[in-house]
Amino acid sequence: MNVIYYSADQDHATWVPGLQAALPHAQVRLWEPGAPLADYAVVWKPPQQLLDEQTDLRAVFNTGAGVDALMKLQLPAGVPVVRLDDAGMSVQMAEYVCHTIIRHFREFDGYETDMGNGKWSFRKPRSRIDYPVGILGLGVLGERVARAVAQFDFPVNGWSRSPKTLPGVNSFTGEAELGAFLAASRILVCLLPLTPDTEDLLNAERLSQLRPGGYLINVARGAHVVDADLLALLDSGHLAGATLDVFRVEPLPKGHPFWAHPRISLTPHTSARTLRSESIAQIAGKIAAMQRGEAVAGVVNTTLGY
């Protein structure tokens, strides 16, 4: 069995030996143009050439949860694309989102500024009931985040394509219920996959449906948000702030207005990192299962794009 690995970002010097150790009966190599035909490809943002040349693939494994980069390519017909399931990402996402919500709700940034200025003063405690959290996307990551946020007694709303029954989460479904979901939420967390249906979803019309003093946390993909519309709503005061981990262009270009905005907090696409050893173990386990003819979890619906 032959396995190829390619990544536009990740460190092949550790992934290739890691996969080799997990699949001792396979030959694992770094893909280069003209590489011998492989049975499985393990990839992150591969070039079209890889898929065009590798005509014997039985499956393509994506070393992340989001498959939007792969979905832009011409995929080989009938070859399953398998995403990374949790693999240690959902707990990272839960801690990032809970940290951000609590920092905003408890006004910790304001306290830090005050104390830095030698000022000892109190802010009026806020009521959780006034800060309902809306989570766009209740998949592998969104569900974990929703459960974690509910643990802190915030009212939680969730939006997905299909209805969900999750303890402590009010489920809203599909385009028809998006307006009601936004109107019921003040803190908005985006955990949707990037697809033609969700690109530019968070525009002026949608973001202005959030309760006044809304707060956006985008941890999915930059192209979910219309940057200029977000800036206009922050400047008008309808939105109180935003924490952004993902951007249309990454790294965020120098001079982009997000860098200097006083009510935007930024992180460099780090809310949930791919953890190498967990991910290699998961992918190797799925390759072994496929070799035995078993079904595996995480097969992407290429028609829906996630």
Ligand X SMILES: NC(=O)c1ccc[n+]([C@@H]2O[C@H](COP(=O)([O-])OP(=O)(O)OC[C@H]3O[C@@H](n4cnc5c(N)ncnc54)[C@H](OP(=O)(O)O)[C@@H]3O)[C@@H](O)[C@H]2O)c1
Residue 238 annotated as catalytic: no
Residue 221 annotated as catalytic: yes
Catalytic residue among 104, 206, 211, 269: 269
Q: Give whichever of 21 and 304 is closer to ligand X, judged by the CB atom.
A: 304
Cβ of residue 130: shortest distance to ligand X, in angstroms? 26
Cβ of residue 64: shortest distance to ligand X, in angstroms? 6
Burial category of 301 from C-beta neighbours within 10 Å (exposed 0-12, middle 13-18, buried 19 and up): exposed
Q: Beta 169-173 vs 156-160: how paired, if at all?
A: parallel
Cβ of residue 284: shortest distance to ligand X, in angstroms? 20
Cβ of residue 261: shortest distance to ligand X, in angstroms? 19
Q: Give whichever of 54 and 274 is closer to ligand X, judged by the CB atom.
A: 274
Q: Give whichever of 39 and 245 is closer to ligand X, judged by the CB atom.
A: 245
Catalytic residue among 83, 221, 224, 261: 221
Q: What is the spatial distance between Cα 130 and Cα 213, in angstroms, rounded to a whole number?
A: 10
Tokens read off for 159: 């939006």
Q: What phi, psi does 19 have (nearest 5°)?
A: -65, -40
Q: Give whichever of 1 and 266 is closer to ligand X, judged by the CB atom.
A: 266
Q: What is the spatial distance between Cα 53 and Cα 203, in angstroms, rounded to a whole number?
A: 39
**Is 46 in a helix, a strand, or coil?**
coil
Q: Give whichever of 2 and 171 is closer to ligand X, judged by the CB atom.
A: 171
**Is 162 in a helix, a strand, or coil?**
coil
* Residue found under tokens 């209805």: 163
Query: What residue is closest to ligand X based on CB?
Result: 139
| Chain residues that interact with ligand X, rule: CB under 6 A | 64-66, 89, 137-142, 159-162, 191-195, 197-198, 219-221, 245-246, 269, 271-272, 306
**Is 214 in a helix, a strand, or coil?**
strand
Cβ of residue 196: shortest distance to ligand X, in angstroms? 9
**Is 139 in a helix, a strand, or coil?**
coil
* Residue found under tokens 């949707």: 192
Q: Could you tell me which residues come within 8 angstroms of residue 15 by beta carbon, excluding any fewer than 6 positions away?
A: 5, 7, 42, 63, 276, 280
**Beta pairing partners, 225:** 202
The set of catalytic residues is: 221, 269
